[in-house]
Structure 1
Amino acid sequence: MNVVYDAFEGRYSDNPRALYERVRDARPGLRHTWLCDPRFADGFPADVETVPFGSAEARAALEAADLVVANTHLDLAWDKKPGAVYLQTWHGTPLKRIHHDVLWAPEGVLPRLDLDVARWDYLLSPNTISTPRLRDAFGFRGEVLEVGYPRNDVLVGPGSDAVRARVRAALGIPDHVTAVLYTPTWRDDEFYAEGDVELALDVPSFVRDLPEDVWLLPRLHYKMTGRGAAAAHDRVVDVSRYPDVHELYLAADAMVTDYSSTMFDFAVTGKPLLFFAYDLESYRDTLRGFYFDLEPLAPGPVLSTSDAVVAALADLDELRAAFAERYAEFQRLFAHLEDGHAGERLDWLFRQPDRAPQLAATD
């Protein structure tokens, strides 16, 4: 059985990585091939078989696959062989509108991506709220598997403390440091424009106004990696190229985000969340649109200035207490399936020859 994986157009990451690492030793009869962006080749283990993303070898691998596992559109020319199965895991609970629900998209992009949607056999959903939104946004009429996200199993697994220690050591973060992960989402107008993008968060202010044992870990969205640079400082560690953000959730002690779906995964950890929503009105009303209002549900303060973010980070204990009830409700709504067993609920996909769904579609 040939299995081909892709995460974020050629990275070793996310739900495909979690599923691969779950089955690679447990099912020795499988052949695994990853699509790899050469710019991120150093993120792949040395023993992983890869082919360059977008190459003729990638097309051949996809067309020979019995099972394809991807976490975003495979915007490539290829023909799925008869009998092959394509699992689309997607890559987050949607707050911001996606695919056909967006307020704006460049001409021709969505019809082209629909060609990939037509290949999907199964679509993963991380929670009950997301299921109808994902189905409707993609116009997907196949099986929706509402099982949670395999990538989040590590957040509640028995090895989480060891992962935290390993990642912090690799990044040079001392044990006593409070590490703040900053995960801004992408903005369509910036992505389709030319040039670099500056971080919205005022890094010099962060460094100047917070204690020396508070460090910043900026991580740009995968679509924007390489389009900007964090300020150079000993207390700023750019983790945009770190292979898997879920390990960073364990390494971090708090998160600052905006409208990124990272908020839903990070909430599994119970650690403080802050929202730097400096362009809330324009992003919500003009650029992209939301599926629900952020402010009433946010499990942390929604702030419009960098100074306010820095001030809130100065007292995380107060923040925890102030948002404890709302945080618990947020977890109930969006993390109710994150029990450490999402990957286990998908084991049937990797069985041969009979791979019949063991979960009913959720409408």
Structure 2
Amino acid sequence: MELKSLVKIGLLNLITLFSKLCKIQNNKIVVDNFSGQGFGDNPKYIVEQLLKYRDSLDIVWLVRNKKTSQFFPQGIRLVKYHSFRSAYELATAKIWIDDVKNSYKPQKRKGQFYLQTWHGGIGFKKVEKAAEDTLSETYIRDSKHDSKQIDLMISNSEWVTQNYRNNFWYNGKIVKTGLPRNDVFFNDTEKIKEKVKEFYNIDPDTEIILYAPTFRNYISIDEQTKVCSFNYKKVIQAFENRFGKKFVLVKRMHPNVADQIPVIENNNIKDGSRYPDMQELLVASFALITDYSSSVFDFMLKSDKIFIFAKDYEQYIKEDRKIEFNIRKDLPFVFSHNEDELLANINSFNDQGMHKKVIEFKKKVKLLDDGLASQRVSNILIDKKES
């Protein structure tokens, strides 16, 4: 770790120490999404539900860029992530909500409650303990420390619960509530579709193909750019031929590399990284193309039109990250190793056959998302706040 970072963490810890002289505020909740990202993922949907319940809550959201304030509802205070102020807010809050395990947090005080929602759900990539040989010493140390502070994790399936138990250096309570971010698939999806299309100035009659590749650690950004590219015009044309609709492609890079791999927009391609909420993009999309992103396991709650496109499948699992599934054998989604296969799979897509396979997979992992997760989690937090 760089000296500058060590000094800052030392100062943050010092501020935390002085803050402990202050009383814990029972109405304060401090929230982080992916180390300072905007209003999204599980924390967003929990907070939206909390705001319905209580108008007296002091909800603090830690952000890297306050320019994202336009996406936040009233009732949320934005505080700079990893700032001295954030150390004070964390030290004096009754509840912490986070979806990553390596963001800065002080030593939890007696009476504080930490909910870790994680950001993955059912996923391709082996994580935490299962991927220990690919993780940095700093991440492993931070994750183990974080696990000791967690009071509760939430799950949407037997698969996720077992993954937490086996790999997260965590022996605490896990509640099967469903994932709050997935409630969006059970609510008024038409309004969300309109909202997303209006954001990108997409015609209401035009459908969205969402392309959401994950990041790679084993290759350079230039190589990654090539791996995450294909002939968009041909793919759009294939969708139009197969489904008889007009399409536009929205490309959303993983937050880890979005700043380094820009998406050049035109009439046919839009930059999905400009939109703060991945779940709303999923809701608004007609089909999903990805490689190793856990978004497929959320999108299947809405649609079976999922296309796995992984040019580097063998190389990825050999040099980057082992994965939990044999993509070709264990999953219901069509797999494409190259662009020609992708076009062929789009042209020959079988709705009915795919639907049956997806239903069987949901049963296998014992998926329980039903649209009520945010309500269940919020009730737990309200009870903790008042205890």
TM-score (norm 2): 0.84
1:121 and 2:151 equivalent? yes
1:203, distance to aligned residue in structure 2 (A) = 3.8
Distance 1:169 1:22, change over 3 A: same
Specify the SS of the correspondent of 2:146: helix
- What aligned pairs does 1:154-193 form with structure 2 within 5 A after superposition? 154-157=184-187, 159-190=188-219
What amino acid is aligned across from residue 130 of structure 2 in structure 1?
Answer: D
- What aligned pairs does 1:311-330 form with structure 2 within 5 A after superposition? 311-314=344-347, 318-330=349-361
What amino acid is aligned across from residue 94 of structure 1 in structure 2?
Answer: G
- What aligned pairs does 1:112-151 form with structure 2 within 5 A after superposition? 112-151=142-181
Distance 1:333 1:270, change over 3 A: farther
1:29, distance to aligned residue in structure 2 (A) = 2.5
Alignment equivalent of 1:31, drawn from 58, 62, 75: 58
Out of 245-254 and 118-127, give the one that drifted further.
Answer: 118-127
1:269 and 2:302 equivalent? yes
Which whole-Å CA distance do the structure 1 matches of 2:248 and 2:291 have between them? 19
Alignment equivalent of 1:5, drawn from 31, 37, 40: 31
What amino acid is aligned across from residue 359 of structure 2 in structure 1?
Answer: A
1:331, distance to aligned residue in structure 2 (A) = 2.8
Please give the per-residue CA displacement for 1:9-64, whole angstroms capped at 9, x wherever unaligned.
12210110000000113112321000011176245326331101111111111111
Please say if residues 9 and 53 of structure 1, whose CA atoms lie closer than 8 Å, have aligned partners that are also in contact: yes
Count of aligned residue pairs for this structure pair: 350
What residue number does 1:86 align with? 114
What amino acid is aligned across from residue 249 of structure 1 in structure 2?
Answer: L
Listed as ranges, the gaps of 5+ residues in structure 1 are: 356-363
Distance 1:209 1:94, change over 3 A: closer
Which whole-Å CA distance do the structure 1 matches of 2:67 and 2:257 have between them? 14
Which whole-Å CA distance do the structure 1 matches of 2:366 and 2:289 have between them? 19
Distance 1:46 1:342, change over 3 A: closer
Which whole-Å CA distance do the structure 2 matches of 1:138 and 1:68 have between them? 18
Please say if residues 71 and 90 of structure 1, whose CA atoms lie closer than 8 Å, have aligned partners that are also in contact: yes
Listed as ranges, the gaps of 5+ residues in structure 2 are: 1-26
What residue number does 1:279 align with? 312
1:350 and 2:347 equivalent? no
Out of 17-26 and 34-43, give the one that drifted further.
Answer: 34-43
Specify the SS of the correspondent of 1:129: helix
Specify the SS of the correspondent of 1:62: helix
Please give the per-residue CA displacement for 1:175-210, whole angstroms capped at 9, x wherever unaligned.
2223110111122234xx577841523144546754
Alignment equivalent of 1:333, drawn from 364, 376, 383: 364
Which whole-Å CA distance do the structure 2 matches of 1:328 and 1:104 have between them? 33
Please say if residues 268 and 335 of structure 1, whose CA atoms lie closer than 8 Å, have aligned partners that are also in contact: no
What residue number does 1:251 align with? 284
1:330, distance to aligned residue in structure 2 (A) = 2.2
Please say if residues 66 and 83 of structure 1, whose CA atoms lie closer than 8 Å, have aligned partners that are also in contact: yes
Specify the SS of the correspondent of 1:32: strand
Flag the structure with higher helix content.
2
1:334, distance to aligned residue in structure 2 (A) = 4.4
1:75 and 2:74 equivalent? no
1:335, distance to aligned residue in structure 2 (A) = 6.9
Which whole-Å CA distance do the structure 2 matches of 1:351 and 1:221 have between them? 35
What residue number does 2:45 align with? 18
Specify the SS of the correspondent of 1:256: strand
Which whole-Å CA distance do the structure 1 matches of 2:293 and 2:154 have between them? 18
Which whole-Å CA distance do the structure 2 matches of 1:247 and 1:65 have between them? 29
Out of 222-231 and 344-353, give the one that drifted further.
Answer: 344-353
Please say if residues 65 and 81 of structure 1, whose CA atoms lie closer than 8 Å, have aligned partners that are also in contact: no
Coordinate RMSD, CA, aligned: 2.2
Which whole-Å CA distance do the structure 1 matches of 2:92 and 2:350 have between them? 52
Which whole-Å CA distance do the structure 2 matches of 1:150 and 1:353 have between them? 19
Specify the SS of the correspondent of 2:274: coil
Distance 1:2 1:208, change over 3 A: closer
1:108, distance to aligned residue in structure 2 (A) = 3.3
Which whole-Å CA distance do the structure 2 matches of 1:304 and 1:194 have between them? 20
Out of 166-175 and 256-265, give the one that drifted further.
Answer: 166-175
1:314, distance to aligned residue in structure 2 (A) = 4.1
TM-score (norm 1): 0.89
What residue number does 1:305 align with? 338
What residue number does 1:361 align with? none
- What aligned pairs does 1:54-65 form with structure 2 within 5 A after superposition? 54-65=82-93
Which whole-Å CA distance do the structure 2 matches of 1:237 and 1:335 have between them? 35
Which whole-Å CA distance do the structure 2 matches of 1:256 and 1:38 have between them? 29
Which whole-Å CA distance do the structure 2 matches of 1:320 and 1:56 have between them? 53
Specify the SS of the correspondent of 2:43: helix
Which whole-Å CA distance do the structure 1 matches of 2:77 and 2:236 have between them? 45
Out of 87-96 and 258-267, give the one that drifted further.
Answer: 87-96
Alignment equivalent of 2:134, drawn from 75, 95, 104: 104
Which whole-Å CA distance do the structure 1 matches of 2:283 and 2:193 have between them? 5
Distance 1:74 1:33, change over 3 A: farther
Please say if residues 182 and 257 of structure 1, whose CA atoms lie closer than 8 Å, have aligned partners that are also in contact: yes
